[in-house]
Structure 1
Amino acid sequence: MNTDVKQGIETRGFYKLSQVQRIGFGSGDLAQNLIYQTVSMYLLLFYTNVFGISAAAAGLMFLIVRIVDVLWDPVVGAFVDKKNPKYGKYRSYLLLSGIPLTGFAILCFWNGFSGSLTYAYITYVGLSMLYTLINVPYGALNASLTRDTDEITKLTSTRMFMANLGGLAVGYGVPIVVQYFSPDGKINSSASGDAWFITMTIYAIAGLFLLIFCYTQTKERVVMDEKETENVHVSDLWTEFRRNKPLRVLAYFFITAFAMMAIGNSAGSYYMIYNVQAPQMLPYFMALGSIPAFIFMPLVPAIKRTIGKRQMFYLFLSIAIFGMILLYVISVVPALKTQIWLVLIAQFVKSTGVIVATGYMWALVPEVISYGEHTTGKRISGIVNALTGIFYKAGMALGGVVPGLVLAYVGFDQQNTLRQSAFAEQGILWLVAVIPAMLLVLGLWIISKYDLDDALMDKINYEIEYRYKDQI
């Protein structure tokens, strides 16, 4: 490849991003996590202990909502790939969907129709569908910023730092804010309904302003021409899934990883309230689910360069499994369970592994998009993100239905805000440590099948851009 062509390719596709642009894009993750993490960590607790729905009914609802998502995601993916809105192919949806998403998030935590399954279904389905209308184009926006693998790694590191800042604001902040506004100082009583509504209002509005900021700081530069978008169909999703092996591997990893996170997150509040008997330490326990990101995510580019991406997954998934084993051992030994500092250490170790492994997986999405473009000539970012969305929401479905069913099976008493039976406590421990660890072992095997290394991706991206040399 001659120097002029290479320089043109680097200018056209391998764009460099400023730190402000990375933070601007990452603010979209921060915004979405203020809502997503609140739902993931606390909606089940709100439904069972505050709103008044049984654990089994809530678990079934979570499953049904995710089935709706499976049908909705490919429609959204094809729609955003075909359309070219005035204010940006993908970034427009940060504004168009952000405002109604804010409203539905607030309504999900309103106790005005206490105990009404109909109201819960309407608001949760609406929230989930609107979340897809932001999340799918936002994921595609990631792949439209640059082809440069080093830049994508830096961008992913920054966005995961921002995402976990949202997780910290939710994990640590939500219980404190709810307790502050709750008349009885609890987060798991019917009297705390108004406090949950106020808290979600604060977080959702903050998220909306962050989505607006994300919109102002992003620029789409690697997208399909309008002529190419005319041939995008919903059926492309399944066609791409069949012929794109790296995409299949990533999709299976997504369902495993998100099931693990959703199950562990939703059980965390139950664990600290009932098993550890230290509800006052819940904010610190939840905060430790995010704090390792601020230590390790900035180091990800250097770690990946040193040991490679696959070995990095192996290392941090193993750390997460070790942390879950440690949490289980501490919880079943009476003399250790009373040592809350040991519980917090185990949570930190577990979260370190989970954050790095599940955070970096988002850097693989642009890779499988480019692999598909290299193979077919079509850069269907929306379709690919819809497909990964289907699988991560399938993982979320497991994360929603499994805790509800396990709690129902072990006889969880939603009227008791202080104690549960030994069997119910054991069930909560399964959700916090045992089931997530089993899923991570499966995740280790799945990610071993991913074979797009950085050298291959650079070759693929340069070959794609070389096709455009006549346009340079």
Structure 2
Amino acid sequence: MNSDKLLPNESKGFYKLSSMQRIGFGSGDLAQNLIYQTVSMYLLIFYTNVFGISAAEAGVMFLVVRIVDVIWDPIVGAFVDKRNPKMGKYRSYLVLGGIPLTGFAILCFWNGFSGSLVYAYVTYVGLSMLYTLINVPYGALNASLTRDTDEITKLTSVRMFMANLGGLTVGYGVPIIVQYFSPDGKINSRESGEAWFITMTIYALVGLCLLLFCYTQTKERVVMDEKETENVKVSDLWVEFRHNGPLRVLAFFFITAFAMMATGNAAGSYYMIYNVRAPEMLPYFMALGSIPAFIFMPLVPTIKRAIGKKQMFYVFLTIAIVGMIMLYIISVVPSLKSQIWLVLVAQFIKSTGVIVATGYMWALVPEVISYGEHTTGKRISGIVNALTGIFYKAGMALGGIVPGLVLAYVGFDQHNATTQSVFAEQGILWLVAIIPAILLVLAMFIISRYKLEDDVIDKINIEIENRYKQ
């Protein structure tokens, strides 16, 4: 293991992080979410209503892109683990991948080749591959900063706070900026194409600056020596998956969580425009998908200490399901449907549960990495993050193809910017409330199988560090 000078209150491997280091690391997730959340929330409606391809074509494309990711992610994970660039084993990719990612993100929302499936595939596949080239090493960077579980909890809380700041900036800001630059004041018309291009250019460039800031503020101190990782290969991914039970549990939780988020996010714009028929309230509805993070994520360390991490998952997953049930009831009862404030309250409750449960799951990734290191002697952070990446992108694939296919099934009219049939509105409601709620019930069962309680993982980390002292 790499050596480093210790502070008086530190033991080797269990490093303390400053507030600036936590904010610096979190800025990397803020940067990525400026792109990821824009794609998640708005790319489908951009493709169907602005770019001019059908919902079914877009849904299939989302699936194909995720299949490419299944092949690409382990290649990136093995590549990252085996190499030690001078700029940093993991953090170097924030710069090396960040620059081309910025370009592809902008091109994805360019309407110059309107209706061209080939252009859409090339730009979206390129965007996804470059996103992986940043996201996998960024996830591994988390586990390279410290082994201290309390520090990781604090780090994750700051990271999720920053990530949701990105979500808020996208959810609230994107429709307002697009409407401002759009000639007809709409986000879902052919005339808004140039406005989308300008908006994504702004967001992508800000994201690049944040990635550069993250690079300057992070320091890798818990990484394997070069000789210990020189034989890392793609097949290690499947070996790790077979032997690491907690990793399997976390991987399947990622599938359900990201499928739920991707489905709900993609449907949000359709829901506010066509079901609630209040497009002017879309920025507020989307913003409420992130605002609870600023209230509850700082409280996560305290909540976890009080009730334990598994109980915390159960409580907040239940809160999210309650919010989704409220959205459904409000949407089918005519007297309630016109009360926009009730829609926003239900969205806030749903988002509170989703944010805490899906935010804290990232704190479990360093735990399963340490479990694998304890079992095999290899700390292959890149491989593990590639594996979790495969599964969360599998979830995104479901969340990408399901909305497109459901919209095609219910006869969504992509040329109508204001109204849809009753059946199409019902399909949109399935995507906003019913399907995500079912996925959350499944997620609750999956997380019940996770066995690494804090006392167990602390013991594992201490044993690992003691090995290196011998």
- TM-score (ref. length: structure 1): 0.98
Cα deviations by residue, 1:57-87 (Å, 9 ceiling, x for unpaired): 0000000000000000000000000000010
Post-superposition offset of 1:401: 0.2
State the SS of the aligned residue for 2:53.
coil
Post-superposition offset of 1:12: 1.8
Amino acid across the alignment from 1:165: L
Identity of aligned residues (%): 85
- Partner residue, 1:77: 77
Once residues 69 and 444 of structure 2 are traced to their aligned partners in structure 1, the CA distance between those partners, rounded to angstroms, is: 26
Contact 1:9 1:462 in 2 (8 A): no
Amino acid across the alignment from 2:318: S
1:9–1:384: structure 2 CA closer, same or farther, 3 Å change rule? farther
Contact 1:247 1:368 in 2 (8 A): yes
Post-superposition offset of 1:253: 0.1
Contact 1:257 1:358 in 2 (8 A): yes
- Partner residue, 2:209: 209
- Partner residue, 2:3: none
- Partner residue, 1:24: 24
- Partner residue, 1:222: 222
- Partner residue, 1:426: 426
Once residues 338 and 72 of structure 1 are traced to their aligned partners in structure 2, the CA distance between those partners, rounded to angstroms, is: 46
Post-superposition offset of 1:10: 4.4
Unaligned residue ranges in structure 2 (runs of 5+)? 1-5
- Partner residue, 1:178: 178
Contact 1:249 1:446 in 2 (8 A): yes
Once residues 367 and 354 of structure 1 are traced to their aligned partners in structure 2, the CA distance between those partners, rounded to angstroms, is: 21
State the SS of the aligned residue for 2:438.
helix
1:375–1:159: structure 2 CA closer, same or farther, 3 Å change rule? same
- Partner residue, 1:398: 398
Once residues 468 and 404 of structure 1 are traced to their aligned partners in structure 2, the CA distance between those partners, rounded to angstroms, is: 52
Post-superposition offset of 1:469: 1.2
| Structure 1 residues 118-133: aligned runs within 5 Å | 118-133=118-133
Once residues 138 and 455 of structure 1 are traced to their aligned partners in structure 2, the CA distance between those partners, rounded to angstroms, is: 27
Residues 1:322 and 2:316 aligned together: no
- Partner residue, 1:3: none
Residues 1:412 and 2:412 aligned together: yes
Post-superposition offset of 1:11: 2.8
Contact 1:9 1:469 in 2 (8 A): no
Once residues 260 and 10 of structure 2 are traced to their aligned partners in structure 1, the CA distance between those partners, rounded to angstroms, is: 39
Once residues 47 and 193 of structure 2 are traced to their aligned partners in structure 1, the CA distance between those partners, rounded to angstroms, is: 10
Post-superposition offset of 1:316: 0.1
Post-superposition offset of 1:7: 9.9
| Structure 1 residues 253-332: aligned runs within 5 Å | 253-332=253-332
- Partner residue, 1:88: 88
Cα deviations by residue, 1:308-367 (Å, 9 ceiling, x for unpaired): 000000000000000000000000000000000000000000000000000000000000
Runs (4+) off by over 2 Å: 6-11
Once residues 8 and 99 of structure 1 are traced to their aligned partners in structure 2, the CA distance between those partners, rounded to angstroms, is: 39
| Structure 1 residues 152-191: aligned runs within 5 Å | 152-191=152-191
Once residues 455 and 141 of structure 1 are traced to their aligned partners in structure 2, the CA distance between those partners, rounded to angstroms, is: 24
Cα deviations by residue, 1:189-234 (Å, 9 ceiling, x for unpaired): 0000000000000000000000000000000000011001112110
Once residues 63 and 378 of structure 2 are traced to their aligned partners in structure 1, the CA distance between those partners, rounded to angstroms, is: 33
Cα deviations by residue, 1:222-267 (Å, 9 ceiling, x for unpaired): 0011001112110000000001000000000000000000000000
Unaligned residue ranges in structure 1 (runs of 5+)? 1-5
Amino acid across the alignment from 2:274: Y
Post-superposition offset of 1:282: 0.1
Contact 2:111 2:194 in 1 (8 A): yes
Amino acid across the alignment from 2:121: Y
| Structure 1 residues 239-258: aligned runs within 5 Å | 239-258=239-258
Cα deviations by residue, 1:278-300 (Å, 9 ceiling, x for unpaired): 00000000000000000000000
- Partner residue, 1:62: 62
- Partner residue, 2:142: 142
The alignment's C-alpha RMSD in Å is 1.1
Post-superposition offset of 1:175: 0.2
| Structure 1 residues 352-391: aligned runs within 5 Å | 352-391=352-391
Contact 1:328 1:434 in 2 (8 A): yes
- TM-score (ref. length: structure 2): 0.98
Amino acid across the alignment from 2:53: I
Once residues 61 and 254 of structure 1 are traced to their aligned partners in structure 2, the CA distance between those partners, rounded to angstroms, is: 21
Aligned residues: 465
Once residues 7 and 356 of structure 1 are traced to their aligned partners in structure 2, the CA distance between those partners, rounded to angstroms, is: 32
Once residues 199 and 12 of structure 1 are traced to their aligned partners in structure 2, the CA distance between those partners, rounded to angstroms, is: 46
Amino acid across the alignment from 1:186: K
Contact 1:9 1:466 in 2 (8 A): no
- Partner residue, 1:347: 347
